[in-house]
Structure 1
Amino acid sequence: MITSFGSELAEQIARPKILIVDDIHANLIAMRKLLRGIDAEIMAVDSGNEALSLALDHQFALILLDVQMPDMDGFEVATFLRDNPVSAETPIVFLTASNTDEFSQLKGYMSGAIDYVGKPINERILLSKVAIFLELYQHKQRLVSALTEVHRQRQILQATFDSVADGVIATDNAGRVAWMNPSAQRMTGWDVAEAIGKVLDEVFPLVTAGGTPLNDALFDEPSKASDAASQAMLRTRSGGRFAVTRSASMVRDTAGKAFGGVIVFHDASDAYARQLALIGRAETDPLTGLLNRAGFNKRLQALLHGARDRNTDLALLFGDLDRFKQVNDLHGHAAGDVVLKEIAVRLSNCVRDEDIVARWAGDEFAVLMLCENPSIAQQMARRLAETVAGPIDIGKNDLRATVGISIGISMASAADWNQQVLLERADSLLYETKAARKRVPT
């Protein structure tokens, strides 16, 4: 027979339940009166079998179990309760009217009981013990609930990290990889099982567009990190490279002590390609496809530093077309454009792969070349003049135009490696050459 007290509150899942097991019905009624002030759902049964049946379906905060019962005594019931996963951790307090000797107590503890309450029941002792066990149960439930919520939040976070396109890498306080999401594994080429424990620089090596390792700290101030990220390339495990943007932050405990870090990075290949395209358009002459003045000056500045460091000289050949104005005047600007495009092709085909050709302005062209002495630059100037001098089909009634080119040569060493002086000397020497050619009778 089952007697349930406080059934009106049975639907409250968080409310603790207490099970009383005693074969004497009057004892069950008495226990109910003693526990009437306890905030718990009280369930009572008069046999061990009924107790075991309820224990399969309910999670009890406490079981008050009579020792002396027919058919199945309290020791047997306790043993079965301990074997049931649902009730294995439920506290069992034996109720006994006999003077419990040491052997009986030992038998009770071995069967799963954790305490005894003698009969007749002392109300104070019973209520005190019940209150303690209920408090422990509530603490446990709160802890279980908190752990369940932590697990749930972790699962949500894990699912979020697994689904985002951005790569996420977590490190420990020694700068070693502790975790990576699938996107990070895909982009870096590292499997998480292999990456864990390796230094971050090995798994996530950043380099400049030119391949120089970036040694700046990943966890610098956000402003520095953003500046570095805009030019950072990630070198993958297989040796490939692609542009990334990234942000990084330290993870700290409540005392402010860092115990790791998190890096979030994004594949910026498309943005980098668009940036290069914009730079290319900004530095390219639209008519000839050669570098324009801005692009030429940028490379000149880089070569001036590089050539001086490599202990070699740099020659600037500054050229201006001869008789080009006559082509425009006689055949129009469309014909002039045809001539400029053809000259650009001829100059590009004449120079070496490492040399740089640009359309400076109008009918002016410039060539940069690394060379050991001025004589090499002079030989190049003669080849350029020869290739320019050939007739050009301007596509107008089989008409052909013939132009020449005057070239001024300036050496970086003679200009003391000063970009402005180098340009001015080349320009001055060009017009000296042009003036000298005008004085020569044709």
Structure 2
Amino acid sequence: MQAQIFLVDDDDDLREAVLDTFHKHKISARGFARAAEALEALDPEWSGVVLSDIRMPGMDGLSFQKEVKRLAPDVPVILFTGHGDVPVAVQAMRNGAFEFLEKPVHPDHLHQVVLRALKMRSLQVELTNLQHKARATLPLEERLVGRSKAMRFVRRDIQAVAPLQVDVLIWGQDGTGKTAAARAIHDLSPNAAEEFVVVNCSAVSQDTIERTLFDEGGAVARASGGTLHLQDIEALSDRLQAQLLRIFDGPNAPRVVASVSHKPEELLAGGKLRSDLLYRINVAQIELPPLKERGRDVFVLLDHFIQRAAARHGKSQKAMPVPDLEALGKYTWPGNVRELRNVAEKLVVGLTVRLDDRAAAQISETYDDAMLRHERELLSNALIQSGGRKAAAADLLGIPRKRLYLRLKHCGIEE
């Protein structure tokens, strides 16, 4: 992806005029008439800037901005507004827009704003690269945190396979850390100094993925001699999965570390993964366990994420009350490690943590406690309806009087 600027505007004349301005300043830019087209071409690791009109048919500028933030959260977005759109633009700024410019904007002012945005994006990319390099020197125990037996096995497998020039298949639920594992494999390999290129196969359309992978300067070429991490490889069409097979044996081919979100055998049986691709890529397989199966790793990870978030925000660490910790220990964590990281972030910045309602019901008490509570309510209601007469209450419940007496004693309603 060579363009420094993505310009989205349905006005053909205006779009071409702005593109000419960029070209005169030696800034490479690419124009789009529709927001959806720009989203298909967007790469989260792109070092450029997005400019968009607010009022467009189909997806408007505010909706487009939200999608950009979802797919590529660090890419700056500059919005054009017409006269009278300032309240909308203020909302865009609250949503994280870099700047908004009221039409007609002077070319020199536009140029200066874009240069500032590109400078900020360049610093972000540089910082990200430095962070990756810093993490690459950390022990594996600090990169894939956890004391559970399952995580010890994961780290052991990564250390065993990383030095070998073999392709790897990682599988695990969303949020379990598949990309972190893939990067660890790359950083511990003999080719750690080469590129680590990530492609999310489920994020954009099949046509865009094809260009992203195979075009000149695409992901396969950039990862040459390094590592190509293909996320959600099962999202590729059968045709593209077949095309992938050609990259494995080419000259200076990248090492492929692919990831899937379900058991490979299930994907194969469901027709979502080609057997020849699975057999070719599945030289080594690593399974990442869901957080709910990692026992007390929840608390180890929570402490780890709180420390990191506190350092990042310049805040002191905040201890959670014991009842909250008990609830977190019983929670099923459908979002896995990613969800726990978000909880830690909220705790540090002082936001209220609200777990999913259904999950919260699951974690509020054990099965035995829930059954006892339900039985106590049932017995109490029967006594109320019968006016306290135990024989009548037993009849209402359809149980013998002796059993009613025993249950009342068990539930602590009577001594």
Q: TM-score, normalised by structure 1?
A: 0.29
Structure with the greater relative contact order (CA < 8 A, sep ≥ 6): 1 or 2?
2
- TM norm structure 2: 0.31
Structure with greater strand share of residues: 1
| More helix, by proportion | 2
Which of structures 1 and 2 has the bigger CA Rg? Answer: 1
